[in-house]
Amino acid sequence: MNKLKTKISIYLILVMIFTILMPYLHEIKAEEVRFDLIYQIQQDTVNIDKYGNAWFIAKAKRATTGIRFRTIGFTARFEKKGGTPLGITTRFKMEEVPPKPGEEPPAGYYTYTKYSIPVTNPDGTAQTSIIDRFIVDNPTKADEIRQAFVNGGTMYLDAVFTIVENGKRLGSMDMDGNLTGETYTTLKGIQNARGWARPDLFKDYFNKPIPITEGQLTVEVPVYATYWLTTGQRLDPQGHPDLIETVYMKKGENKTVTVNALRFPGYKLVSSAFNYTGKGGVDDEQIVTGDGAATRNIPVKAEAKNYVYFYYQAITCPGDPSCPQLVDGDIIFTPNTSFDISGNRDGWVNEDIRVKIEVESSKKEVTMTDSESRGYKYKVKHRSCHRNSKGKRRCHTYYTTEHGSTSCRFEQKWTVNTLEVWGEGYTLSGSQVNIPRQIISDGGTITISQELKDITLHAKVDSWTKGSKRFICGGPPN
């Protein structure tokens, strides 16, 4: 009977212990089974979803002390098809959100962290992406970077870690990828940072391949206009091509952008062409001359550079029929001929001749279209979520200040300022004499003191005064 009582007592104690621990064991088991199943299926595979995000799950063992590691971002590199390295890397800030106190699994149990990393920005709504970071860090290779991702290859990710000791973080990464404090960017470095229970599990965070097939990603494709003289000199107002529009597209999609030529005082447009290499005059396609050169609809290619080249010639006055300053009525001479001066005799005047020269009133002012880079800053709202040991979703919100620039078109009025005047006449013996060139203000006068006949004067606009700009920027950039 005593033995039976002893067995019953032990049984009751075990039941009580199991009853107390069962909720925790059940929750841990459910969490572990759910994530471990995905982890086992996924292994080294990293998927890219339709939103352009790559995601994978990493496994770690819960520490038994107050020392933790914390993922603060990733280093990315890219290999083109065939294994040729792109030759550049970038760091991307993306912090792991730690569970709140009391929500961590017990010491010794495994934890699973899901990472969702924006590789691209398929519709312009994301604030940044890995491709963006590559381009920001390597602006001179922007076209090469975009083309590499469009044509396919493999991107590799390596985690960047810091250490947390009793709740105090010892290192950090800013939005530009700069590291401060105690941080680790290599597998060996983080493995040896502390006495971890399972340092081998850090391999899940390094050399993660992300295969990208040709035409899989939607990328931002810039379309540029650039302005040149036919003699090879650049006319671009900012000293570089003018960004007309950014198109979001995949390789093989059909999209076009309308590009209009700018007007430049003293120059005339003679032709325009499409160019998909950025080598103007060498790889020009679909060259158009005449009136059709001013407006072009370029088919955009995601895998190429996209430029419209506009070619100009300097207006030479006098003698060039296209010179707007010499068209009848554009510039007015008063008097127009010596016969208009009272007291003349057969075109001769026995006194100094004062001639007023001015641009016809409707031509004194022109409106030009141009563009320039404008800086801006804005606050970005971030929301980061994780699941605790009970499977409940926990989220928190934080803000960062972002800076950028965008090309903004504007209209600007230009008013005639000064005129260049010159001419010639003939002496009594029939010899031609040049009237020296002079610069006068619009509406000013010149005085002819020589005794000449059959005098001819020429004039052209020498300089313009620019007025205020009216910007046509539209809404803020995404």
DSSP structure string for 359-418: E-GGGSEEEEEEEEEEEEEEEEEEEEEEE-TTS-EEEEEEEEEEEEEEEEEEEEEEEEEE
In terms of domains, do 305 and 341 share one? no
At 17, the amino acid letter reads I
In terms of domains, do 51 and 199 share one? yes
Contacts of 373 by beta carbon, 8 Å cutoff, 6+ apart? 238, 405, 406, 407, 408
DSSP state of 345: B
In terms of domains, do 113 and 162 share one? yes
Structure confidence at residue 341 (pLDDT):
63
Query: 């002390």: which residue's tokens?
Result: 65
Angle between helices 130-137 and 142-151 (to 10 degrees): 150
In terms of domains, do 194 and 288 share one? no
Structure confidence at residue 471 (pLDDT):
74
Q: In the 3-class helix/strand/coil scheme, how is 180-249 assigned residue by residue?
A: EECEECCHHHHHCCCCCCCHHHHHHHCCEEEEECCCCCCEEEEEEEEEEECCCCECCCCCCCEEEEEEEE
Question: Does residue 29 lie within any of the structural domains?
Answer: no
Counting beta carbons within 10 angstroms of the beta carbon of residue 173, is it exposed (0 to 12), middle (13 to 18) or buried (19 or more)?
buried
Structure confidence at residue 88 (pLDDT):
87
In terms of domains, do 378 and 464 share one? no
> Residue 179's beta-bridge partner residues?
173
Structure confidence at residue 348 (pLDDT):
56
Structure confidence at residue 24 (pLDDT):
43
In terms of domains, do 179 and 48 share one? yes
In terms of domains, do 112 and 51 share one? yes
In terms of domains, do 64 and 122 share one? yes
SS3 324: helix
Question: Does residue 34 lie within any of the structural domains?
Answer: no
Cβ 170 vs Cβ 163: under 8 Å? yes
Read off the tokens for 121.
Answer: 């920005």
Question: Does residue 28 lie within any of the structural domains?
Answer: no
SS3 329: coil
In terms of domains, do 149 and 253 share one? no
User: What span, in angstroms and rounded, lies between the C-alpha atoms of 425 and 347?
Assistant: 12
Question: Does residue 343 lie within any of the structural domains?
Answer: yes
Residue 143's H or E segment, with its range, is helix 142-151
At 375, the amino acid letter reads G
Question: Does residue 23 lie within any of the structural domains?
Answer: no
- pLDDT tens for each residue of the chain, 478 residues long: 555 555 556 555 554 544 444 444 434 444 444 444 444 445 555 677 777 787 767 666 665 677 888 888 889 999 988 888 888 889 988 766 555 555 555 445 566 677 777 888 766 555 578 888 888 888 888 888 888 888 889 989 898 999 988 888 899 988 888 999 999 999 999 999 988 888 888 888 898 888 888 888 888 899 999 999 998 888 887 778 888 988 888 898 999 999 999 888 778 899 999 999 988 888 999 999 987 899 999 999 999 999 999 999 876 544 444 444 434 447 888 887 666 666 555 555 567 788 898 988 877 887 766 667 777 777 777 776 666 656 666 677 777 777 777 767 777 788 888 999 988 888 877 788 888 889 999 989 988 877 777 788 888 888 888 787 777 665 555 5
In terms of domains, do 166 and 284 share one? no
Domain boundary among 272, 291, 314: 314
Domain boundary among 171, 194, 212: 212
In terms of domains, do 273 and 386 share one? no
Question: Does residue 223 lie within any of the structural domains?
Answer: yes
Structure confidence at residue 361 (pLDDT):
81
Question: Does residue 95 lie within any of the structural domains?
Answer: yes
Structure confidence at residue 322 (pLDDT):
43
C-alpha dist (Å) from residue 440 to 322, 417, 461: 23, 9, 10
User: What span, in angstroms and rounded, lies between the C-alpha atoms of 443 and 358?
Assistant: 4
User: What span, in angstroms and rounded, lies between the C-alpha atoms of 371 and 262?
Assistant: 10
Cβ 92 vs Cβ 81: under 8 Å? no
Domain boundary among 156, 180, 212: 212
In terms of domains, do 169 and 250 share one? no
Structure confidence at residue 274 (pLDDT):
95
Q: Find the CATH number of the domain harbouring 235.
A: 3.10.20.320
Question: Does residue 4 lie within any of the structural domains?
Answer: no
Structure confidence at residue 225 (pLDDT):
94
Show the domain range for 400.
Answer: 373-404
Q: How many helices (H) and strands (E) does the chain have?
A: 4, 25
